[in-house]
Structures are given as structure tokens and as C-alpha cells.
Homo-oligomer: A and B are copies of this chain.
Amino acid sequence: MNTLAYGLLGLVAKMPSSGYDLMLQLQPFWQAKHSQIYPLLAKLEQEDYLEFTRVLQTDRPDKKVYSITDKGRAALREWLARPTGEPVFRDELSLKAYCLWLTDRATARKLFEEREELNQEHLSMYENFLAELEQACEGRPENPSSPYFGEYILLTRAVNSIREELNWCRWVIGMLDKQS
């Protein structure tokens, strides 16, 4: 049972979903490809943390909809109380920033402009998610008992940190522009 496995249990615990669906839902918080998810789901099902029913669809491919078992829910509760691993952040841009002095202004500038753009896209995406959430739960996501609370605080953090990185990019570009 690794972290990704608990992540999947956590999503399924809230709402039964297909592997494909879980992959999409998970993206913002834990990047994993379908090739990692499908085998894991099969394993979790074999070990009775999850169960699935095959849902037949006419217009699209059939799907397996997984739901959580009592054993799965118990495992989740136990996991929540166990020590949390430290976060891992790996950003190629940091490593490039370290050797900016080796290159010219134009190349350097481009690096941060691309990241600025990426952040701009992410920002509007997450702002939309947050707005949708606030609609969905009739304005009380700040209540820690609400099932939306977790998503609410996560989206808030995401929006804040993206906004900040965006400002950081602009600050760096500003310095790169000054011919000093």
C-alpha cells in the first residue's frame, strides 16, 4: 500500500468512479498515468479494499466503476492518523535558473515567459474549479464537516501558490529586462 493507493481509496470513498475518471480527478494533486492506476486498482480490488461493477455504455466503451469496501475505509482512517511523508517538488526550471549566468538574456527571458504562461493557464483553470465548488455546495465549504471542505482548502492553496509563482515570474522578467 503506497501513497497513490491511499489517494485512490480516498477518491473512491467520496464517490464511486472508473479508473479513467480517477486518473483525471487525481491529476491536480498527484500526477499518475493510467498505466500506473489500472494495475493498482486491480490489486486493491483483489485485496478487498475496493470492489467494482461493470457498467455497460452504448455510446462509449464500457467501464468498471469502483467503490470502497469497509476494509478500504478502515485502511483510509488508519492512514490519516499515521505520519505524513514530506512533499516532493521537482522543477526543472529551478535547475535551469541555477545556471542562468551561462546563457544570454533572450534564452533566460523565454524560460520565465513560458512558465508565466503555464501559470496563467493553471490559474484560470483552478479559479474555475473553485467557483464551481462554491456553487455546488451552496456557499458553506468553510465548514470542516462538509464533504467539500478538503477540496475547498486544496483548491484555495493551489490558486494562491499559482498566483504567487506567476508574480514571481513577472518579477524575474522585470529584472531581466533592466539593462544592468
Partner-contacting stretch, out of A34-42, A48-56, A150-158: A150-158
- The number of times this chain is found in the oligomer is 2
Select which of B6, B89, B99 is within 8 A of A95 by beta carbon.
B6
1/0 per residue, CB under 8 A from B, across A16-41: the answer is 00000000000001110000000000
Select which of B84, B85, B90, B97 is within 8 A of A150 by beta carbon.
B97
Task: Check if B154 sits within 8 Å of A165, measured CB to CB.
Answer: no
A interface, CB within 8 angstroms of B? 3, 6-7, 9-11, 13-14, 29-31, 73, 76-77, 79-81, 83-103, 105, 107-108, 111, 114-115, 118, 142-147, 149-151, 153-154, 156-157, 160-161, 164-165, 168, 172, 175-176, 178, 180
List 14 A-B residue pairs with CB atoms under 8 Å apart, sorted by A's residue number.
A3-B95, A6-B96, A14-B99, A30-B94, A80-B108, A84-B114, A87-B92, A97-B153, A101-B150, A144-B175, A153-B168, A157-B168, A160-B164, A164-B164
